[in-house]
Copies of this chain bind each other. A is one copy, B any other.
Amino acid sequence: MKNLKGACIFGQSGGPTSVINASAAGVFIEALKQENITKVYGAEHGIKGILDERFFDINQEDVKELEFLKNTPSSELGSVRYKLKDADVDDTDYKRLLEVFKKYNIRYFFYNGGNDSMDTCNKISKYLQKVEYECNVIGVPKTIDNDLATTDHCPGYGSAAKYVATTVAEVYKDMTVYNTGLITVIEIMGRNAGWLTAASALANEIGCGPDLIYLPERDFDMDKFVADVKKKADEKNGQVMVCVSEGIHDKDGNYISELYASGAKDSFGHTQLGGLASVLANVLKEKLGIKVRPIEFSLMQRCGAHIASKTDIEEAFNAGIEAVKAAVRGETDKMVCFKRTKENYEIEYILLDVALAANAEKKVPDEWINKEGNGVLKGFVDYALPLIQGEANQPKVNGLPRFAHLKKVLVK
C-alpha cells in the first residue's frame, strides 16, 4: 500500500444506469481536490479508451457541470463491453495499457461497473502488481441487477427499483380503470438475478402492486404459471398484474423467451423477435381467452434519472469519493462496498478485495421468495424499501432535464 503521486484515470464499463455518472462526479470532484493526483483523466468507452489513448482532460471541466452529472443518466464518458484475455494467454492489451499508464504517469486507476468490469479491474490490478508498476486500483460498483457479491447493494439498483415500483403502481392504476378483465404482463430486466423484478413488490406497499412475481432464482413452469394466473383472475374480476424477470427459464435452464419464440416468422417472412412479455401474453390469451397486455420496461428502467432515488444518487456519488480517498491513502486491488448497519438504514463504506466481486454473482435469497415461487416476502421489502427513498429533484431547463454539458477535451 503506497502513497503515490501521479495522474488518475477513471472509466465506465458495462450497461449504464441512472446514477453511474454520479459515481463519475464523485471520483472527479474528489480527485481534483487531491494534491497527490496531478492530473484527472476520463477514459472514453472504458478500457477501450485507455488502449486507444483516447481520454478526456477532466482538469479542464467546470466543477459545476460535473455536479450536473449526478442527475444525468447513462455513461457520459461512453461505456464498453470488452473482455480482457487472461494475461497468461495473451498479454498484448496489458502491455499496451502499461505503456499508456507509463506515458501519462497514471498512478491511480478507477473502474466503474458490474461483475465483468470488476473482472477487468482485477486482471489489470494483478498484472500491474506482477510487472511491479506502482498504481493503486479501486473498483467502483455499478449495476441495476444488484448482483455484485460483497456489497449490501449496488449503486444503480435503488434508482432502477424506484422506477420499477413507481411505474408498476401507475400501470396498476391504469389496468384497473375499466370494469373488464385484463391481464398485464410486465417484463423487467435481470438475466440471472431477480432483484429488479422483485422491486415490483414494493408497489404493494401502496396497494398497487403485482399479484404474481416470477424470478430467475426459481425454475419456471408454464403450466403452473397459467394455473396461477387463472386462479388470480377468478379471484380478482380478471384483473391480474404479473411481473417477470427477462431471465426466467425452465428446469433445464432454457430461457422461456427463446424456448417459445424461436423461429417465428411474420407474413413477410421476417423473423419475429418478440420479448418475453409478448411470449407469455400469447400463451395466456390462447389458454385463458382473456385480454392480455404485455409491457416491457425496456431501457427506461435503467436510464430513468428523473425518477432516480436520492439515496442511490448520494451513495453512488459517495462511492466515487471513497474510491479516490482510499486510493490516495494507499489502498489498491479493492472494490468499494456498502455495509448496512442492522437497526436503522445506515451505510458504511468498506473496501474488500476486488477479486471477490469479480467471480461471484449474488442472487435473491431463497428465504425471501415465497414457497410457490410466485411472489416475494417481507424480508425482501425490508431490504429494498430504504434504497428507493428520496427524490432526484432533477434540475430542469424549459421543462426538460438539464443534463451535464462536459467539454470533453481529448488529451493529445
Name A's B-contacting residues (CB within 8 A). Answer: 16, 45, 48, 72-75, 78-81, 162, 165-167, 169-171, 173-179, 202-203, 205-206, 208, 260-268, 270-274, 278-279, 281-283, 285-286, 293, 295-296, 298-300, 302-307, 309, 385, 388-391, 396-403
Contact = CB atoms under 8 A, between A and B. Distances in A.
Interface residue SS majority, chain A: mixed
A273 B396 CA distance: 38
A206 B400 contact: yes
A178 B389 contact: no
Work out how many copies of this chain go into the complex.
Answer: 2
B80 A174 contact: no
Nearest to A271: B282
Contacts of A305: 170
Nearest to A292: B273
Contacts of A279: 266
A170 B273 CA distance: 24
A299 B174 contact: yes
A401 B399 CA distance: 21
A395 to B, nearest CB: 10
A79 to B, nearest CB: 5
A313 to B, nearest CB: 13
B260 A267 contact: yes
A265 B264 contact: yes
B309 A307 contact: no
B208 A403 contact: yes
Given A205-B400, A272-B266, A298 B295 contact: yes
A174 B301 CA distance: 11
A263 B263 contact: no
Contacts of A303: 170-171, 173-174
A271 B286 CA distance: 9
12 contacts: A165-B400, A175-B299, A260-B270, A261-B267, A264-B266, A265-B265, A266-B272, A266-B282, A270-B283, A278-B278, A296-B296, A388-B399
Contacts of A300: 167, 170-171, 295, 300
A335 to B, nearest CB: 22
Contacts of A389: 398-399
A171 to B, nearest CB: 5
Nearest to A287: B270
Contact of A261 (B171, B203, B266, B396): B266
A139 to B, nearest CB: 19
Nearest to A397: B206
Closest 5 CB pairs of A and B: A74-B173, A264-B266, A388-B399, A270-B282, A174-B303
Nearest to A311: B399
B286 A282 contact: no
A134 B409 CA distance: 73
The listed residue with most B CB atoms (<10 A of its CB), out of A266, A307, A390, is: A266
